[in-house]
Amino acid sequence: MKHDAYSLTELIRNDDFIAWVLHPDAESDIQWQLFLANNPGKKKTVESAREYVILLAKDTGRNVPAPQQSEKMWKMVESTMQEEAKQAELEMPVDSHWRWVRVAASAALILSIGSVSYWFYYKSTDAGRMHNLAVTQTEQSEGFVQKYNDTQKPMTVILPDGSSVVLQPGAHLSFTKVSKRNRREVTLTGKAFFEITKDKEKPFLVYSYGLATKVLGTSFLIDASESNDDIKVEVKTGTVSVFSINNMSDEMKGGSKDSKYEEVTLNKDEKIAFSRDNGKILKLEQGIPLVLNVRDVSRQNFFFDETPVSQVFEAMEAAYNVKITYDKELVGNCSLNATLVGQPFSKKLEVICNALGVQYEIRENQVTITGNGCK
């Protein structure tokens, strides 16, 4: 029997044919259309071979790692990098990795009410000094930070990207200081209010038990208390997506993992409950907010209309449980027009201070305002 160069088997392993099936372009299209025109009897063979090539490409590529596995591998690689960097540091002292935004007293920023999003685009830069508002901090290994609020009051934690998290008593947050790659990630148990610095390139992910909450830059509340069966998420500004990451590693084996992710998108004031038992996500009725205490940070709108600065700082102190020190004579009587919803604590301070022409410095849970203030 004569060997047929365009038999099914031959086509499936023909380089030109594979290239055409996987990446068709005008040139190869013409080439294979021409072939079919000249060999009309091969139409079925070509169709069938095409399908096999696609199936082979798809089925041999089914074992990509689950996100958790990717994360695990990256963490390992990253920690070796850090170890090495640490060693290098010992030999030649360099400034520490994480540096904080110190706000230069640049030209006064005119605050327009409502267009908060404008400030979101101010990127945190790597200048200034590292500050931390949290009281309890344990550093297990290099770069891995755990915060536990064992006080009776809210505790504000500022993340390396400038985002702020107000932890309620009993809440626990962990994150890595060095967050390079394509996302920012933290793990939460307990209740916390997040105000996230906008960064379209790096989505911000909060993991709480089996639930992942993903945002680009916005504010929202998560209640993932250990004692509750459900985890609740409520959005204050912007858009948030939540999805279950339960049993992800099992599903990975079955292929087509995309279909297994239940992802729900939440807009302003919307909220969901996620069942820790069955991984189901339920949208909750709007109306009653998750936090009933009107003085809670998640309920504040920080709307200031010709408001004396002393009152502005009072509101900030109460919401974030920090102490703001400033010269009452110089600054206290200046007034402010602004709506500061959605952006993190340090960004709010930055906006206020820019408007007043003063500088701020954050140290522990103390904020010090310096400068001459409004003229």
Shortest distance in whole angstroms from residue 358 CB to other proteins: 35
| Angstrom distance (rounded) from CA 360 to CA 369 | 5
Residue 51, CB-side half-sphere exposure with 13 Å CA sphere: 5
φ, ψ dihedrals at 82, nearest 5°: -70, -40
For position 92 contacting other proteins by CB under 8 A, the verdict is no
For position 113 contacting other proteins by CB under 8 A, the verdict is no
For position 69 contacting other proteins by CB under 8 A, the verdict is yes
Shortest distance in whole angstroms from residue 248 CB to other proteins: 13
Applying CB under 8 A, the span of 17-25, 204-212, 289-297, 300-308 interacting with other proteins comes to 17-25
For position 39 contacting other proteins by CB under 8 A, the verdict is no
For position 33 contacting other proteins by CB under 8 A, the verdict is no
For position 35 contacting other proteins by CB under 8 A, the verdict is no
For position 349 contacting other proteins by CB under 8 A, the verdict is no
Supply 215's token pair. 């945002």
Which residues inside 151-170 make contact with other proteins, applying CB under 8 A?
none
For position 64 contacting other proteins by CB under 8 A, the verdict is yes
Which residues inside 175-214 make contact with other proteins, applying CB under 8 A?
180-182
* Residue among 126, 125, 129, 120 at smallest CA distance from 197: 120
Bridge partners (DSSP) listed for residue 170: none
For position 318 contacting other proteins by CB under 8 A, the verdict is no
For position 44 contacting other proteins by CB under 8 A, the verdict is yes
Applying CB under 8 A, the span of 44-52, 103-111, 196-204, 219-227 interacting with other proteins comes to 44-52
Binder among 5, 15, 115, 287 for other proteins (CB under 8 A): 15
Applying CB under 8 A, the span of 58-66, 103-111, 235-243, 355-363 interacting with other proteins comes to 58-66
Q: What does 240-285 look like in DSSP terms, one character per residue?
A: EEEEE-TTHHHHHHTS--GGG--EEEE-TT-EEEEETTT--EEEEP
Binder among 32, 35, 52, 144 for other proteins (CB under 8 A): 52
Residue closer to other proteins by CB (options 25, 263) is: 25
Binder among 55, 104, 113, 127 for other proteins (CB under 8 A): 55
φ, ψ dihedrals at 140, nearest 5°: -75, -65
The identity of residue 2, as a single letter, is K
Q: Which long-range contacts (CB under 8 A, 24 or more apart) does 174-179 make?
A: 174/144, 174/145, 174/146, 174/147, 175/144, 175/145, 176/75, 176/78, 176/143, 176/144, 176/145, 177/97, 177/98, 177/143, 177/144, 177/145, 178/78, 178/82, 178/97, 178/98, 178/143
Residue closer to other proteins by CB (options 22, 30) is: 22
Shortest distance in whole angstroms from residue 129 CB to other proteins: 22
For position 45 contacting other proteins by CB under 8 A, the verdict is yes
Binder among 40, 61, 93, 287 for other proteins (CB under 8 A): 61
Q: What does 271-340 look like in DSSP terms, one character per residue?
A: EEEEETTT--EEEEPSSS-S---TTSGGG---EEEEEEHHHHHHHHHHHHT-EEE--TTTTTT-EEEEE-
Residue closer to other proteins by CB (options 235, 248) is: 248
Report CA Rg, the chain: 27
For position 57 contacting other proteins by CB under 8 A, the verdict is yes
Bridge partners (DSSP) listed for residue 192: 167, 222
In the chain, what is the straight-line distance between the N-terminal and C-terminal CA atoms, in Å? 98
For position 341 contacting other proteins by CB under 8 A, the verdict is no
Site of interaction with other proteins (CB under 8 A): 1, 3-4, 7-9, 12-13, 15, 18, 22, 25, 44-45, 48, 51-53, 55-65, 69-70, 72-74, 76-77, 80-81, 84, 180-182
